Structure 1
Amino acid sequence: MDLPVDPARYATFLGVMAVMAVTPGPANLFAIATGAQKGRAAALTGVLGMNTASLVWFAAAAVGLGALILAFPEVFHLIAYAGAAYIAWLGIKALLGAFKKDGEPGHGAFKQGKSAYLDGFTVQIANPKAILFFTAVLPPFLDPDRPIPAQLGAFAVATIGLDVIAMSAYGLGGAALAARMTEPRFRRGFSVVVGLLLLTAAVLMALKAR
């Protein structure tokens, strides 16, 4: 029985993907910010949203969207810049929240979007790192002599599995600081840090989209 992917090629892919998963980028910075602002549950919900977007990208790759983006690079730029603008908006909201007089304990001073899942999905669907992965990193690992859908399924399991581990670690690390969010001075200071993290993520997205 033939395996869907060549074992040696798959092992190489796992090594490349592991490095990419743990490298700080827009998705991992977003996970930290969400965990710090909203706690563990929201961080993990955001991770679910980001990896749902990854599944959408894998499905798109199966129908040739990667080739479409290569043929029409302006599509790539529009998607990436739109995502960067959204993340920048979240960062600005966090910074503005830091300077508002807010008597509520907890996280009331700096909420992001209403849905951590939707925010996470938006981050990853427009993440230039994800787009670059599907248009430049993944194609060389595909074997034209084997069924493409089966290969994409095997690569999806590895990619999403490693991303879930890395993103969750970043998010839970941010959430570990959430216990101190009842302290107004700490909350305001950390809101500034979160805002800067999100703005940094937006800048990274915009720069990689060039």
Structure 2
Amino acid sequence: MPTELVLPIDPERYAAFLAVMAVMAVTPGPANLFSVANGMARGKRAVLLGVVGMSAATLVWFSAAALGLGALVTAFPDAFRLIAWAGALYVAWLGAKSLWAARRPATETAEAPPIRLGRGPLVDGFLVQLSNPKAVLFFTAVLPPFMDPARPAAPQFALFAAATIGMDFVTMSAYGLGGAALARVMTRPGVRRGFDAAVGILLLTAAALIGLRH
């Protein structure tokens, strides 16, 4: 008799997960706000580097989930709060740095070199996503119900990770490239100060979302 084909993941569960993930990916949160600010301050290339950094952090979260993230959060809640608050403070520092840059004289032109927000878009993106409360909520509350205990866990995690990172990559890139396009359009002298202020406000908002949700 032919062996019945067993799929690595239940199609109905996966379809439901894709619907939920699509909504979460497009909803503005710390990662998407960072992408906008990153694009406005650094340009298109930095947007993609920042998204790569955030995607790498998502892989770290998936690895932690595979090792039992829910149990770790329950056992060591203070450690995860500390990570979140450290990330919030770092993003707030980037926002304050951008606001400080907005104080420069209006006679400087918008073609001036973009401010350096932190250690670089790749590292900044990684740190933002690593401390993102949306990620903790996703891996401890959203993902578990879609896992099928009757099937091997590794293939399920791989397919969930591919969908999550793929959708996040598209939406975060779109947010960031939109910010970069806006920055290119506004090239009149003195407008750079307004962009720096907007970047600072976006980053401080992201920091507040990280801190308040924890």
TM range (shorter): over 0.9
What TM-score results when the alignment is normalised by the length of structure 1? 0.94
For the structure 1 residues 109 and 42, does the alpha-carbon distance in structure 2 shift closer, same or farther, using more than 3 Å as the test?
A: closer
CA distance in 2 between counterparts of 1:3 and 1:187 reads 53
Alpha carbons 1:18, 1:162 under 8 Å: kept:
yes
Which residue of structure 2 lines up, in the alignment, with residue 52 of structure 1? 56
Which residue of structure 2 lines up, in the alignment, with residue 127 of structure 1? 132
Aligned-residue CA RMSD in angstroms?
1.5
Alpha carbons 2:109, 2:191 under 8 Å: kept:
no
Q: Does 1:174 align with 2:179?
A: yes
Which residue of structure 1 lines up, in the alignment, with residue 101 of structure 2? 97
Percent identity of equivalent pairs: 60
Task: Encode CA deviations 1:97-129: one digit per residue, 9 max, x unaligned.
Answer: 000248475353532113100000000011010
CA distance in 2 between counterparts of 1:105 and 1:207 reads 34
Structure 2 spans left out of the alignment, 5+ residues = none
Instruction: Choose from 19, 22, 27 the match for 2:23.
Output: 19
For the structure 1 residues 43 and 193, does the alpha-carbon distance in structure 2 shift closer, same or farther, using more than 3 Å as the test?
A: same
Q: Does 1:136 align with 2:133?
A: no
CA distance in 2 between counterparts of 1:80 and 1:16 reads 24
Alignment of 1:1-210 (within 5 A): 1-101=5-105, 103=108, 106=111, 108=113, 110-180=115-185, 182-209=187-214
For the structure 1 residues 87 and 69, does the alpha-carbon distance in structure 2 shift closer, same or farther, using more than 3 Å as the test?
A: same
CA distance in 1 between counterparts of 2:10 and 2:27 reads 26
Which of 1 and 2 has greater Rg? 2
CA distance in 1 between counterparts of 2:14 and 2:152 reads 15
Shift of 1:44: 0.8
Structure 1 spans left out of the alignment, 5+ residues = none
Aligned residues: 209
SS in structure 1 at match of 2:54: helix
Residue identity matched to 1:4: P
